[in-house]
Amino acid sequence: MNGKWKAPFCTLLVLYSLLLSALFQSCYSAFHLPRPIWKKQQQKSGSSFVFPLAGNVYPKGYYQVTLEVGQPPKPYSLDIDTGSDLTWLQCDAPCAKCTPAPHSLYKPNKNVVMCKDPLCTSLHWPKNHPCHGLDEQCDYEVAYADRGSSLGVLVKDMFPLRFTNGSIVVPHLVFGCGYSQEVPASTHPPFTDGILGLGNGKSSIVSQLSGLGLIRNVVGHCLSGQGGGFLFFGDDILPSSGIAWTPIVRISSEKHFSLGPAELFFDGQATGVKGFPVIFDSGSTFSYFSSEAYDILVSSIKKNINAKQLTDAVDDKSLPVCWNGSKSFKSVNDATSYFKPLTLSFMKAKNVELQLQPEAYLILTEHGNVCLGILNGTEVGLGNYNVIGDISLLDKMVIYDNEKQQVGWLPANCNRLPISRDHGEYYYDAYPTNMGIFEQICPAKFDSSKQQARK
């Protein structure tokens, strides 16, 4: 019996080995896809990338998106920021100074970007950034208005992404490997792995995707007042009408979105504040007005308040200006009837206004009080700039169109992911946070790795 079955068993073993080899080769090759050469005309395809967001204005203080990076891909949570252009991850290079984060540090693997790379030059422009050798790496340091910073080196790695039409691409993109982060002692750092820079510089992820011909250079967000929302790259999901557009005003080397001068109205009445420059910044939790505009705003609000209904909540230190009612408020909506709307009228566009209802400038604190979510920007070093932050952008689809050099907005339901024009009127794209991309490519391998990650 043993001699009779020996040959067939060996044959089956060989065939089984070949089958396994083919299976693992297909899984392995998913991580080593050749860098594709995308044609410029693919920008005409109209596809977009859509990502769900997590977070809120208060008490969390930021909105974050989860992207997968590397080979094999690993998830990283990033604070979305239209006020800067460089994306960076906390990095084991090794890390000299890193803050607590939800995922393990990114590990570079011989993928450093060289100093002579055009993206390195654009990141440091207009400053002179001399390169002293062909093998010199591209170092970076970015500083933020809150006096936080990140120091590191540029690297390039794979970003698996899914279009709204279902197709998958894995481009190589440049980002920062941050091995030293500074956080002011007075602030609580966001519990994220880094920052997703969405400004209009060439080093932003959106600009790189556009340069590869994958999307148009358009980015937008919809931040829900209930928490969460969505982020999108590309212009496929934009509604055909109803968007209020105003041009982007370019100021020297600045990479944020400046909308130029505006006039401030309180309850439809002119406040006398004119010509103050406005910036939209999703990386800012609250809005900030320069001292003059801030003082006039606070004075206008306090004059309008009925002292029998609201009193100053001097014991509530959540924010500088707070009020309490006859009983604790359960939601911001409980207090909005005591306040009046604000309006910003943009002087670079005809009849374009940003309406800020009370819920767009008030927060509810844990003490049941409401506080003014517009702060004095001059006191924190913003000079004459006026920053419109997350609190004032809630429940609006905000679009930053770098190709047409304009910013637009319209009211929106940010609790639902947007309709894709690729699929018709009633199709709602639903993308899980990790998009399920690599489970489709190699289910067994990635299910195993995810189970290990949860342990």
Question: What is the full DSSP assignment across 347-384?
Answer: TTSTT-EEEE-GGGTEEE-TTS-EEE-EEESGGGT-TT
Same domain? For 283 and 173 the reply is no
Contacts of 4 (CB under 8 A, 6+ apart): none
Q: DSSP characters for 157-218? A: EE--EE-TTS-EE--EEEEEEEEEEE--TTS---SSSEEEE-SSSTTSHHHHHHHTTSS-SE
Question: Which amino acid makes up residue 290?
Answer: S
pLDDT at 279 over 90: yes
> Band of the pLDDT at 25, cuts 50, 70, 90?
very low
Question: Which amino acid makes up residue 96?
Answer: A
3-state secondary structure of 452: helix
pLDDT at 43 over 60: no
Residue 137 in domain: yes
Provide the CB-side half-sphere exposure for 328 (13 A, CA).
Answer: 7
pLDDT, position 419:
61
3-state secondary structure string, 13-41? HHHHHHHHHHHHHHHHHHHHCCCCCCCHH
CA distance 399 to 412: 12
> Band of the pLDDT at 133, cuts 50, 70, 90?
confident
Residue 112 in domain: yes
Q: What is the DSSP letter of 388?
A: E
pLDDT in tens, 77-130: 999 999 999 999 999 999 999 999 999 999 999 999 999 999 998 888 777 778
Residue 371 in domain: yes
Q: What is the DSSP letter of 113?
A: P
Sign of the CA dihedral running 433, 438, 444, 449: negative
Residue 44 in domain: no
Same domain? For 166 and 278 the reply is no
Same domain? For 227 and 249 the reply is no
pLDDT, position 250:
81
Question: Which amino acid makes up residue 443?
Answer: P
pLDDT at 184 over 70: yes
Residue 166 in domain: yes
Cβ-based burial of 94 (10 A; exposed 0-12, middle 13-18, buried ≥19): exposed
Residue of higher predicted confidence among 433 and 90? 90
Residue 28 phi/psi, 5-degree rounding, is: -65, -40
Same domain? For 201 and 257 the reply is no
Q: How many domains does the chain have?
A: 2
Catalytic residue positions? 81, 281
Same domain? For 197 and 282 the reply is no
Residue of higher predicted confidence among 158 and 123? 158
> Band of the pLDDT at 14, cuts 50, 70, 90?
very low
Same domain? For 257 and 396 the reply is yes
CA distance 190 to 183: 10
Which tokens go with 104? 């393990």
Count of other CB atoms within 10 angstroms of residue 196: 30
pLDDT at 442 over 90: no
Contacts of 417 (CB under 8 A, 6+ apart): 50, 52, 230, 428, 429, 430, 431
Same domain? For 206 and 255 the reply is no
3-state helix, strand, coil in the chain (%, to 5): 20, 30, 45
Question: Final residue of a domain: which of 177, 208, 233?
Answer: 233
154: containing domain: 49-233
pLDDT, position 335:
96
Check which CATH number belongs to the domain holding 321 and give it. Answer: 2.40.70.10
pLDDT at 222 over 70: yes
Judging by DSSP bridges, how do beta strands 88-90 and 218-223 pair with one another? unpaired
91 and 80 Cβ atoms separated by less than 8 Å: no
Rounded average pLDDT over 185-190: 74
Rounded average pLDDT over 341-357: 94
pLDDT, position 427:
35
State which H helix or E strand residue 299 sits in: helix 291-304
Same domain? For 208 and 345 the reply is no
Residue 425 in domain: no
Same domain? For 229 and 302 the reply is no
Average pLDDT value over all residues in the chain: 83
Which tokens go with 388? 């419109």
* CA nearest neighbour of 245 among 341, 353, 356, 83: 353
Same domain? For 159 and 93 the reply is yes
